[in-house]
Chain A
Amino acid sequence: KAGVTQTPRYLIKTRGQQVTLSCSPISGHRSVSWYQQTPGQGLQFLFEYFSETQRNKGNFPGRFSGRQFSNSRSEMNVSTLELGDSALYLCASSYSGAAGETQYFGPGTRLLVL
């Protein structure tokens, strides 16, 4: 089975711009979670989608949003980028997103905001 894929792998943007990141889960997985990883804060949960619905959300401002399509692929959008948004953005997929279910991570998208 192919793993979780994320595109693009690297991005450079400037402050004020917006960005869209994409995640394709493992075939058959319907839950997609997004995380932000920074040296200072570590891995932090952004949100989770299942069957095109956001079921869970972390403590991030409204500039961070996402969506999921009928084929379970997910996108994450960050508007009005700030320098502090520079991070590795990881998505993870699982079969149902149930508590304790194993999550499989993609390689991440590294975003640099100048």
Chain B
Amino acid sequence: GAVVSQHPSRVICKSGTSVKIECRSLDFQATTMFWYRQFPKKSLMLMATSNEGSKATYEQGVEKDKFLINHASLTLSTLTVTSAHPEDSSFYICSARGAGENTGELFFGEGSRLTVL
């Protein structure tokens, strides 16, 4: 199957700083990527749908100015948590829609754990 890679897998930052998380589709082109947030012992919550070459579509209740999403190429989407605060500490997961023989299937990254001090 296709591979989606996230970087960094873990990041610790100070309150007030910004953090960028990258999501790459390694062996396929993904016109659509999704960003999720997972709280401890809870489900994945869809934050936004990232479309290559256009603005991301955010879910209700997600601050677009807080969570900046850029999908500049068919293999890369980035999530920037701006002016991070401790409540932004979470596990962020991206997924990308497969192409070709994997059309329709979603492939998930390994996740990025953000800790804001």
Binding partners A and B: no
- Which B residues have a C-beta under 8 Å from some C-beta of A? none
